[in-house]
Amino acid sequence: MATLLIAEHNGTELAPATLSALTAAQQIGSDITVLVAGANVKAVADAAAQCSGVGKVLLAEGDSLAYDLAENLSELILSVAGEYSHIMAPSNSVSKDAMPRVAALLDVGQLSDITAILSDAQFQRPIYAGNAIATVTSNDAVKVITVRAAAFDKAAATGGSAAVETLAAPADSGLSSWVNDELTQSERPELTAAERIVSGGRGVGSGENFALLEALADKLGAAVGASRAAVDSGFVPNDMQVGQTGKIVAPSLYMAFGISGAIQHLAGMKDSKVIVAVNKDEEAPIFQVADYGLVGDLFDVLPELTEKL
């Protein structure tokens, strides 16, 4: 058994999610190779080589790998796939894009977003937005897997001394090309990566009032989220939506203000470690999942909280 782990990185640093996926890989077997792909990512490969339990690092650099185009990245993975029983990646927008291509070209199924490893072929993964947990067994010789990073502890980023081997970058597919990026210029962390989230619902009343949430978020170093009701009411854009059809989050601290707690919202945040709910209505369903509930007017609570923290 041998595992190929596709590293997540931002071009210069190895993402923490890679370390979580490494823990998952270690639960399957000890023969682990990390693949680092990008335009100029030698530093990332060197960092991967330091991680505990990594046997070998494959470094592929080239223009065809610069913008994570799935057509090229999947070809790269396929070019080395033959040597591995498990091909894994932390679940992110790059792996979600490329890994199913790898699976299809190997004529195997893919196990998406696994949260537990029961054996080298049996896994658990959330279905129905986490409202049910499926135990599944892969019948395929090669298992293509994406890993939900939040479900695994991070492996140590030090202690290893793997060799770095260079791999040829694939030729560009000629089918797709990068045009431009518009990356969010926000001082606040990204919703799906945030350790703390401050979220607002219909009770916030307007887009302007979200400033109250932003003030608290800045105090806490938190991201700002919203319920579907707040999005549908036009207070905030869609990409802030936490819920079944929005972002699925699991921060250490989730603070819900003026959110009643509809099923579809709970599906997106109920795996948070600590949930705080502030709502005027003491019967609101959000209190059934909140570790700490405060019945009160969010317009009183928010400024007081922001001031006292």
Partner 1 sequence: MKVLVGVKRVIDYNVKVRVKSDNTDVDLSNTKMAINPFCEIAVEEAIRLKEAGIATEVIAVSVGSSASQEQLRTAMALGADRAILVETEDTAEPLTVAKTFAKLMADEGAELVILGKQSIDSDNNQVGQMLAALTKRPQGTFASNVSVEAGHVAVTREIDGGLRTVKLALPAIVTTDLRLNEPRFAKLPDIMKAKRKPLETKTFADLGVEVKQHIQLDKVEAPAARQGGVKVGSVDELIQKLKDEAKVI
Written as one letter, the residue type at 127 is: I
Query: Are β-strands 3-6 and 86-90 bridged in parallel, bridged antiparallel, or unpaired?
Result: parallel
What is each CA distance from 142 to 71, 85, 120, 232, in whole angstroms?
Answer: 20, 5, 11, 43
Q: Can you give the length of the chain in residues?
A: 309
At residue 243, what is the residue type? Answer: G
Q: Which is nearer to partner 1, 119 or 161 (CB)?
A: 119
Smallest distance, Å, CB 240 to partner 1?
A: 11
Rounded CA separation 146/92 (Å): 8
Between 50 and 173, CB nearer to partner 1: 173
Q: Which is nearer to partner 1, 162 or 204 (CB)?
A: 204
* Coil, helix or strand at residue 147: strand
Question: What does R_g of the chain's alpha carbons equal in angstroms?
Answer: 21
Between 98 and 224, name the residue whose CB sits nearer to partner 1.
98
Q: How far apart are CA 145 and CA 136, in angstroms?
A: 12
**C-beta of 71: minimal distance to partner 1 in Å?**
6
Minimum distance from CB of 70 to partner 1 (Å)? 6
Identify which of 84, 91, 139, 97 has the alpha carbon closest to the alpha carbon of residue 114: 91
Least Å from the CB of residue 53 to partner 1? 25
Q: What is the DSSP string of 206-264?
A: SSTTHHHHHHHHHHHT-EEEE-HHHHHTTSS-GGGBBSTTSB----SEEEEES----HH
* CB-nearer residue toward partner 1: 54 or 301: 301
Pick between residue 39 and residue 164 the one whose CB is nearest to partner 1.
39
Decide whether 107 or 161 has the Cβ nearer to partner 1: 107
Which positions ≥6 away from 184 have C-beta within 8 Å?
190
DSSP state of 247: B
Task: State in angstroms the smallest separation of the CB of 159 from partner 1.
Answer: 27
State in angstroms the smallest separation of the CB of 75 from partner 1: 10
Quote the least distance from Cβ 33 to partner 1, whole Å: 22
Judged by beta carbon, residue 82 or residue 183, the one nearer partner 1 is 183
Q: How far is CA 84 from the centre of its chain?
A: 24
Query: Within its chain, how far is the Cα of 18 from the centroid?
Result: 10
CB of 79 to partner 1, least distance (A): 14
The CA-based angle 225-231-232, given to 5 degrees, is 160
